[in-house]
Amino acid sequence: MRILVLGATGATGRLIVGRAMAKGHSVVALVRSKNKAVTLASAELVEGDARTYRRDGDAQYPPVHLHNRRGRGR
């Protein structure tokens, strides 16, 4: 299965990516910066964010979205 992970560079996202790939899934990791995603090198990295990312018309991804507001104005 091909899985799209939003929030892949976060602590939980990295675990999800690793486990999905260990189970043989193909992972597309949406990242804001490929430089911050060096630990996700085995995943397909797509630079962007959830507002600007457009899926390939014939690709089907079950999305996994991971978002944390920690450190954002609290």
Q: What is the pLDDT of residue 70?
A: 59
How many Å apart are CA 74 and CA 58, to the nearest integer?
40
| Beta pairing class for 2-6 and 26-31 | parallel
Query: What is the value of pTM for the model shown?
Result: 0.70
Q: pLDDT tens digits, the chain, 74 residues: what are they?
A: 888 888 888 888 889 999 999 999 999 888 888 888 888 878 999 888 777 666 554 455 556 666 666 555 44
How many Å apart are CA 17 and CA 71, to the nearest integer?
23
